[in-house]
C-alpha cells in the first residue's frame, strides 16, 4: 500500500490503520522486543505505538519513511515506559533468547544461482551460525547493538539512523564500523 498521502493526513481511517499494522507490525514488535527483551512488554508497547500513530498522524510530515517514523515512536514509547513507575517495579533486564525463525525471516539470505537446495545439515549449520552471530550482537553495549539492529535488520540508511537517534551521520558510521569489528573479533574467537 502506498502511504505517501499520510504526510498530509490529519486522521487515519480504520482500514489504513489495519494496513499499517499488517505492514509494519512485525518491525515494531521486534524493535520493542529488542529494546525490552520481554515478549509481554513488546506486546504492550506495540499496541501503544499504533495508538500513538493513530492519534498523532498529523505530526507525520513525510520527512522520513513511515517505517522510520514508527520505529522512532517505538523507541520513544519504550524510553517513556522505562521511566514509568510500573517499569521500574517490573522484571526488566531478563534476557530471552532470540528465536532463529525471527532472525532468519528478517535476514534476506541469498539463494544459490542454480537454486540448489542445501542439505538439512548445511541448513542447520547455517542457522546455528546466524543464531551465534545474533547472540554476539545482542551481548554488545546498547549503543552498538541498536545501530546494528537498525542497519542490518531494518535496513535503515545512515541518515535515517542519525535522524532517529539524534546523532550525526559520522557518529553512526563510526559506531557501525566499531560494532562490526567487535562482532567480527568475537566471532573469530568463538571459531578458534
**What is the structure's pLDDT at 84?**
60
Q: 76-130, pLDDT tens digit by residue?
A: 998 887 766 444 433 333 333 333 333 333 444 433 333 344 455 555 555 566 6
Mean per-residue pLDDT of the chain: 76
**What is the structure's pLDDT at 88?**
43
CATH class of the domain whose range is 120-191: mainly alpha
| Cβ atoms of residues 57 and 9 within 8 Å | yes
| Cβ atoms of residues 176 and 146 within 8 Å | no
What are the extents of the domains in the chain? 4-88, 120-191
SS3 166: coil
Q: Which three three-digit cell numbers place residue 99? A: 528465536
| Cβ atoms of residues 117 and 125 within 8 Å | no
Q: What percent of the chain has pLDDT over 90?
A: 28
CATH class of the domain whose range is 4-88: mainly alpha
Checking if the pLDDT of 50 tops 60, the result is: yes
Average pLDDT over residues 129-149: 83
**What is the structure's pLDDT at 91?**
34
Checking if the pLDDT of 29 tops 50, the result is: yes
Any idea what the Cα angle at residue 141 is, between residues 135 and 143, rounded to 5°? 115
Amino acid at each position: 500500500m502506498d502511504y505517501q498521502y499520510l504526510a498530509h493526513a490529519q486522521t487515519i481511517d480504520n482500514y489504513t490503520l489495519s494496513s499499517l499494522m499488517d505492514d509494519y507490525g512485525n518491525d515494531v514488535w521486534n524493535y520493542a522486543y529488542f529494546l525490552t527483551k520481554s515478549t509481554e512488554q513488546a506486546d504492550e508497547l506495540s499496541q501503544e505505538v499504533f495508538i500513538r500513530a493513530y492519534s498523532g498522524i498529523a505530526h507525520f510530515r513525510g520527512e522520513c519513511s513511515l517505517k522510520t517514523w514508527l520505529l522512532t515512536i517505538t523507541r520513544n514509547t519504550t524510553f517513556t515506559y522505562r521511566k514509568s513507575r510500573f517499569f521500574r517495579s517490573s522484571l526488566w533486564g531478563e534476557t530471552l533468547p532470540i528465536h532463529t525463525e525471527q532472525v532468519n525471516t528478517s535476514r534476506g539470505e541469498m539463494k544459490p544461482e542454480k537454486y540448489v537446495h542445501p542439505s538439512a545439515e548445511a541448513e542447520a549449520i547455517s542457522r546455528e551460525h546466524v543464531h551465534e552471530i545474533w547472540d554476539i550482537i545482542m551481548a554488545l553495549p546498547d549503543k552498538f547493538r541498536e545501530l546494528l539492529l537498525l542497519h542490518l535488520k531494518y535496513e535503515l540508511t545512515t541518515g535515517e539512523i542519525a535522524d532517529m537517534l539524534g546523532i550525526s551521520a559520522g557518529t553512526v558510521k563510526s559506531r557501525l564500523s566499531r560494532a562490526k569489528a567487535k562482532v567480527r573479533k568475537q566471532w573469530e574467537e568463538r571459531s578458534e
